[in-house]
C-alpha cells in the first residue's frame, strides 16, 4: 500500500512536470499564454497527465501505482501535443487574419474566428461579399496546413424579419462559407454547418452597427475525438 501511494504521488509529479517541460515556441507572445503566464501547452499537459494518472490508477486495480504512472505519461503526452498544436495554429491564424476584420479567440481547447457582417454578407443575402474572399482564402490555406481539427461553421443573422427566414438565411450563409472552403481544397469531411439565426446576438439590434455585428459567421475549431496529438504536426 505504501509503495502504491508513493507511485501515485510520483504520477502526480509527472503530471505537473509534463506540463512545465512542454516546449512552447510562443512563450513570449500573449495570445499563447493564459492569464497566469503558463502556456496553454503546459496546462493541457499537466491537467491531461493528472487525469490520466487518476484513470490509470482506477483501471489497474491490482497495481494502482503502476497504472497511475502509465496513465500520466500517455495522457500527458497527448494533451500537451494538442496544446502545442493549437498554440501554433492560433498564432498562424492571428497573423493571417491581421487587418482583415476577423477576430481570433482562444477558448480553452477551441479556437473561434468571428467574421462580422460588414465583411461577410450584405443584408438579407447569402452571397459572399467581395471583401470576404481574401480572409476566406487565408483561412483555407491555414486549414490545409493545420488539418487536424474539426471545423464547425455557424451562421447568424440580425433580428430583422421572421425567425424562420433568419434561420434559413443563417444556414445558407454557413453553407456558402463551407462550399467556398471546400472549393479551395479544404477536406469537406472536416466541415459541419449550422444556422443559429438571430440567437446569441453579440450587439444590440437597435442600430445598424449592432445589426452588422450580429450578421456574422463564426468558425469553431475543435480537436478530433480520438486523434493522437502526441507529436506536433510539422509545417
Task: Quote the number of domains for the chain.
Answer: 2
Most confident of 58-62, 154-158, 230-234: 154-158
In terms of C-beta density within 10 A (0-12 exposed, 13-18 middle, 19 or more buried), how is residue 95 classed? exposed
- Work out the average pLDDT over 18-37: 42
- The half-sphere exposure of 233 on its side-chain side, counting CA atoms within 13 A, is 18
Residue 26: pLDDT band (50, 70, 90) is very low
> Residue 81: its pLDDT value, please?
74
Task: Tell me which of 27, 60, 95 is where a domain ends.
Answer: 95
Q: For residues 208 and 190, what is the distance between their CA atoms, to the nearest angstrom?
A: 34
Q: For residues 183 and 191, what is the distance between their CA atoms, to the nearest angstrom?
A: 12
- Which residues pair with residue 154 across a beta bridge? 194, 218
Same domain for 131 and 198: yes
pLDDT: is 229 or 32 the higher one? Answer: 229
Tell whether the model's pLDDT for residue 232 goes beyond 70: no
Which residue range(s) make up the domain with 127?
Answer: 99-223
Tell whether the model's pLDDT for residue 49 goes beyond 80: no
Residue 63: pLDDT band (50, 70, 90) is low
> Residue 76: its pLDDT value, please?
45
Q: For residues 84 and 24, what is the distance between their CA atoms, to the nearest angstrom?
A: 7
Give residue-wise pLDDT tens across range 79-120. 557 788 899 999 999 999 999 999 999 988 899 999 999 899
Grid cell 481544397 is found at 185
Task: Tell me which of 68, 95, 122 is where a domain ends.
Answer: 95
Cell triple for residue 166? 433568419
Tell whether the model's pLDDT for residue 143 goes beyond 70: yes
Same domain for 54 and 122: no
In a domain, 140, yes or no: yes
Q: For residues 103 and 218, what is the distance between their CA atoms, to the nearest angstrom?
A: 10
Same domain for 113 and 209: yes
Sign of the dihedral through C-alpha 88, 91, 94, 97? negative
Residue 5: pLDDT band (50, 70, 90) is low
End-to-end CA distance of the chain: 47
Task: Tell me which of 95, 121, 151 is where a domain ends.
Answer: 95
Please answer whether residues 181 and 113 qualify as being in contact, where contact means their C-beta atoms are separated by less than 8 angstroms.
Answer: no
- Work out the average pLDDT over 9-24: 48
Q: For residues 149 and 19, what is the distance between their CA atoms, to the nearest angstrom?
A: 22
Same domain for 128 and 160: yes
Tell whether the model's pLDDT for residue 34 goes beyond 60: no
Eight-state DSSP code of residue 129: P
> Residue 228: its pLDDT value, please?
78
> Residue 88: its pLDDT value, please?
93
Same domain for 106 and 79: no
pLDDT: is 78 or 91 the higher one? Answer: 91
Query: 153: helix, coil or strand?
Result: strand
Tell whether the model's pLDDT for residue 145 goes beyond 60: yes
Give residue-wise pLDDT tens across range 152-199. 999 999 999 999 999 999 999 999 999 999 999 999 999 999 999 999
At 119, give phi and psi (nearest 5°).
-120, -5
Report the CATH number that the domain containing residue 105 is assigned in CATH: 3.30.1330.60
Amino acid at each position: 500500500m505504501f509503495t502504491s501511494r508513493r507511485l501515485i504521488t510520483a504520477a502526480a509529479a509527472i503530471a505537473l512536470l509534463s506540463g512545465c517541460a512542454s516546449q512552447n515556441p510562443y512563450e513570449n507572445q500573449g495570445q499563447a499564454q493564459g492569464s497566469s503566464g503558463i502556456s496553454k501547452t503546459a496546462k493541457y499537459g499537466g491537467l491531461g497527465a493528472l487525469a490520466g494518472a487518476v484513470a490509470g490508477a482506477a483501471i489497474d486495480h491490482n497495481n494502482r501505482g503502476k497504472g497511475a504512472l502509465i496513465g500520466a505519461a500517455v495522457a500527458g503526452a497527448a494533451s500537451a501535443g494538442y496544446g502545442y498544436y493549437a498554440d501554433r495554429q492560433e498564432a498562424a491564424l492571428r497573423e493571417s487574419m491581421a487587418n482583415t476584420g476577423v477576430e481570433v479567440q482562444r477558448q480553452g481547447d477551441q479556437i473561434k474566428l468571428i467574421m462580422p457582417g460588414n465583411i461577410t454578407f450584405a443584408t438579407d443575402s447569402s452571397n459572399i461579399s467581395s471583401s470576404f474572399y481574401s480572409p476566406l482564402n487565408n483561412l483555407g490555406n491555414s486549414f490545409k496546413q493545420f488539418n487536424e481539427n474539426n471545423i464547425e461553421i455557424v451562421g447568424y443573422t440580425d433580428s430583422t424579419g421572421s425567425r424562420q427566414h433568419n434561420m434559413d438565411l443563417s444556414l445558407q450563409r454557413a453553407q456558402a462559407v463551407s462550399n467556398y472552403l471546400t472549393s479551395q481544397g479544404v477536406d469537406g469531411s472536416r466541415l459541419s454547418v449550422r444556422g443559429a439565426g438571430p440567437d446569441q446576438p453579440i450587439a444590440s439590434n437597435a442600430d445598424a452597427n449592432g445589426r452588422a455585428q450580429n450578421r456574422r459567421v463564426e468558425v469553431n475549431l475543435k480537436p478530433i475525438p480520438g486523434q493522437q496529438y502526441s507529436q506536433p504536426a510539422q509545417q
